[in-house]
Structure formats: structure tokens, C-alpha cells
Amino acid sequence: MSRERFRKALLPPGAENIEKLKNIVEEGNYYGAQQMYKTISSRYATVGRFSEAFDLLQSGACLQLEHDQVTCGGELAMLFVEMLVKAKVDFDEDYLDRIRKIYKKFPRVPVPQNLDLADDDAIHQLSETFGAAKIRVESCSSFLKAAIKWSADSGPRKIGSPELHDMLAEYIYSESPEPDMTRVCYHFARGRNPNRFASTLVNFMGKCYPGEDDLAIARAVLMYLSLGNLRDANNLMDEIEKLAQVKELEFPDSELMRFINYLLQTLMRDALPLFNMLKQKFSSSIERDPTFNELLEDVGEKFYGVRRKNPLQGMFGELFKM
């Protein structure tokens, strides 16, 4: 018997270790189980038994997350994606579904409401809640960003799986005490659920500070347009207006919104001079957000073939891959 076959024979079937480690987690020995998940999955991978390594890491990530062990569960989730890369697994629906199952185990914890902020205990509770939320969002974001990169490198879309982008956008928005709407928009625009995107923006409109609503809508539309996606940009605007009316929210009436409406009409035809005129006429509104000019350079390139003036091409998008 060769040395490799001998080493393979020494390892029990993956199902045995899954059951064994499940019992250790159930007993509350989360750290001990964590070390064993990492060690044993690595041994399976070393002898080429990747299927059992994937099963073990998925089971461990889900179990740790079910027990609110976000750091441990997030680490195993990351190792699952790293194993996909190591094993040179191509993106497919089966592995997407396995990633989705891990993602759904990340805790969702609502922020406490109606706290008496004059009370020291309430302030302490809120501080702890925000700290825990930050850890959850960072852990889930790291996992999903790694999965998006894997899907981009091994799948059909070079910007990554739209389903994974939608998952990340939804988690950042729902779990961050103060969500980064630029990141939320970035990932929703690379997803395939403009209705969910619109619903998120209308929810944000109902609780944001004055002057933030039109910026969020404009950013969302420009994100779509920077990818050459005029259809979903128009659908998004239509859906936001419908939902805002249903929720009796006032749709923002600003120069920036007028610019976006004119822009959507202009991009439906070959009208580069008008596109340039709009940018000049509404420059003060565009300059309200430092990302808008770069997004508009992408729009000009996608719709009219205008080469970017900025030599650091695409730096805005690269920031979100880090």
C-alpha cells in the first residue's frame, strides 16, 4: 500500500467526524471543536478527500453560527471558500446553495428600541449591541466577499454571482446599526433583484437624515448605469416611486433628482453632446457626492465609448473588493 493510500485509510469517513464534532459543540466546547474542525478538514484536503472536507467545514460553520459563535462560524465559513479555491472547484448551483445555507445561519439581531439613553445600563446595552453587530457584519462580509471573488474567478460572470451580491447587500443593510449605503448600492447593483433594492432604498428614505434620500437614489441609479444596465436603472426608479407612494413618503424633489431623470432619458438615444451638457449644467449637484463623477465616467464609457480621463481607472470599484 502506498503512503498516500495508507494516510487516506487512516482517516475515518467524514460523517463520523461530523457527528463527533457536533456533540462537542452541543456540549459548549466551541473552541475545542473549532480547532478540531480546522485540523481534521485540513487532513482530508491533504489526502485529496475534498468532499468530506467541504461537508465538515459546512457543518461546523452552520453549527457554530447556530450557537451564536460568530467568530468561529465565520472562520470556518472562510475556510470553506478557501477550500473551494484550493480544490479548484468551478462555480455551480450546488456550491452556491451550500454557501447560501451557511449565510442563512449568520445571526440577525434587531437593535433594541425605546431605550432610556439617560440610563447607564441602557447605554451599555446599546454599546454592546452595536459592537456585536459590527463583528457579525464584518464576519459575514469577509465570507461573502471571498465567495464573490471565487465565483468571479471560476464562474461565468467576471463581477461575480448576482445572488451572492444580493446576500451581501441585504446583510450589510439589515444588520449594520448605520449601514454604509454606498456598499449596499454597490452590491445590489451587481445583483439581480431591483425590487428588493428599491424596497431597501424606500426603507432608508423613511429613516435617513434630510438630504440623504436623493443621494442614495442617485447613487443607486448611477451604480446600475456604470455597469451599462439602463433597464434595471429605470425599473428601480419606477419601483421606488410606487413604493414611496404606498408608504406615503415624499419622493425627493431636488436638482439631483432632475439630473437623474434627464440622464435616464438621454441614455436611451445617441446623444453624447446632451450627456456632456447635463453634466456641466448639474455639476453642483453631482459634486455633492465624490463618487458621482467617477461613476459618470463609467457611464460615458459604457454608453458612448468615451475613454476615462482619470488614469486610475476603476479605483472606486476596486475599493469594495478589498
Report residue 253 as a C-alpha cell: 424633489
In a domain, 169, yes or no: no
In a domain, 98, yes or no: yes
In a shared domain, residues 6 and 133: yes
In a shared domain, residues 189 and 128: no
Residue 270 is part of which domain span?
180-322
Cα angle vertex 268, ends 262, 271, to 5°? Answer: 75
In a shared domain, residues 224 and 99: no
Tens-level pLDDT at each residue, the chain (322 residues)? 445 554 555 788 989 999 999 999 999 999 999 999 999 999 999 999 999 999 999 999 999 999 999 999 999 999 999 999 999 999 999 999 999 999 999 999 876 655 555 666 667 676 787 888 899 999 999 999 999 999 999 999 999 999 999 999 999 999 998 889 999 999 999 999 999 999 999 999 988 888 899 999 999 999 999 999 999 999 999 999 999 999 999 999 999 999 999 999 999 999 999 999 999 999 999 999 999 999 999 999 999 999 877 555 555 555 555 4
| pLDDT value at residue 1 | 42
- How far is residue 104's CA from residue 30's CA, in Å, rounded to a whole number? 20
In a domain, 47, yes or no: yes
In a shared domain, residues 208 and 106: no
Q: Which residue has the cell 478557501?
A: 82
In a shared domain, residues 299 and 193: yes
CB 222 within 8 A of CB 295: yes
In a shared domain, residues 150 and 186: no
pTM for this model (two decimals): 0.90
In a shared domain, residues 150 and 224: no
Provide the 3-class DSSP secondary structure of residue 236. Answer: helix
In a shared domain, residues 73 and 197: no
Residues 6+ apart with CB under 8 A from 207: none
- How far is residue 96's CA from residue 72's CA, in Å, rounded to a whole number? 21
In a shared domain, residues 149 and 32: yes
| Nearest alpha-carbon partner for 244 in 207, 182, 199, 212 | 199
In a domain, 166, yes or no: no
- How far is residue 9's CA from residue 17's CA, in Å, rounded to a whole number? 14
Out of 96, 122, 156, pick the residue that ends a domain.
Answer: 156
In a domain, 37, yes or no: yes
| Nearest alpha-carbon partner for 172 in 194, 145, 206 | 145
Judging by beta carbons within 10 Å of its beta carbon (0-12, 13-18, 19+), is residue 81 exposed, middle or buried? buried
| pLDDT value at residue 24 | 97
In a shared domain, residues 145 and 187: no
In a domain, 171, yes or no: no
**Residue 302, domain CATH:** 1.25.40.10
| pLDDT value at residue 322 | 41
Amino acid at position 28, single letter? G
| pLDDT value at residue 144 | 98
CB 144 within 8 A of CB 171: yes
In a domain, 263, yes or no: yes
DSSP single-letter state for residue 225: H
In a shared domain, residues 86 and 128: yes
The domain total for the chain is 2
In a domain, 161, yes or no: no
| pLDDT value at residue 208 | 87
Provide the 3-class DSSP secondary structure of residue 164. Answer: helix
| pLDDT value at residue 308 | 78
CB 276 within 8 A of CB 286: no
CB 148 within 8 A of CB 162: no
Burial 233-269 (b: 16+ CB within 10 A, else e): bbbbbebbeebbeeeeeebbebebbebbebbbebbee
